[in-house]
């Protein structure tokens, strides 16, 4: 029986506006790659991949407002 793929959700660490999504579904990412660029209090905050993997789903779009703990991107490891 095949094992289900392991996944990891990348979460927002604060309330912020989504400035830009820098990846697309299916893209391979490495540790440290920027996935999303957030803006909070006039500061740009890059959200980085903590695991290598493939972008399985993008849960936000530019212009969205996210809350702490919201899923930004899902990765298949």
Assigned CATH for 7-76: 2.40.50.100
Q: What is the DSSP letter of 55?
A: E
The DSSP bridge pattern shows strands 34-40 and 65-66 to be unpaired
* pLDDT greater than 80 at residue 60: yes
Reported as a single tens digit per residue, the pLDDT across 4-39 is 779 999 999 999 999 999 999 999 999 999 999 999
Question: What does the alpha-carbon distance between residue 61 and residue 77 come to, in Å, rounded to a whole number?
Answer: 22
What are the residue boundaries of the structural domains of the chain, listed by start? 7-76
Both structure tokens of 17: 């506006």
Give this prediction's pTM.
0.91
**Nearest to 73, CA basis, from 1, 4, 11:** 11
Mean pLDDT on 46-68? 97
Instruction: State the CB neighbour count (10 A cutoff) for residue 31.
Output: 10
* pLDDT greater than 80 at residue 1: no
């Amino acid at each position: 029986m095949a094992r289900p793929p392991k996944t990891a959700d990348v979460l927002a660490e604060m309330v912020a506006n989504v400035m830009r999504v820098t990846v697309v579904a299916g893209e391979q990412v490495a540790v440290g790659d920027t996935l999303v660029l957030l803006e909070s209090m006039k500061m740009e905050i890059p959200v980085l991949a903590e695991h290598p993997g493939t972008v399985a789903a993008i849960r936000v779009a530019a212009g969205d407002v996210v809350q702490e703990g919201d899923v930004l991107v899902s990765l298949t490891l």
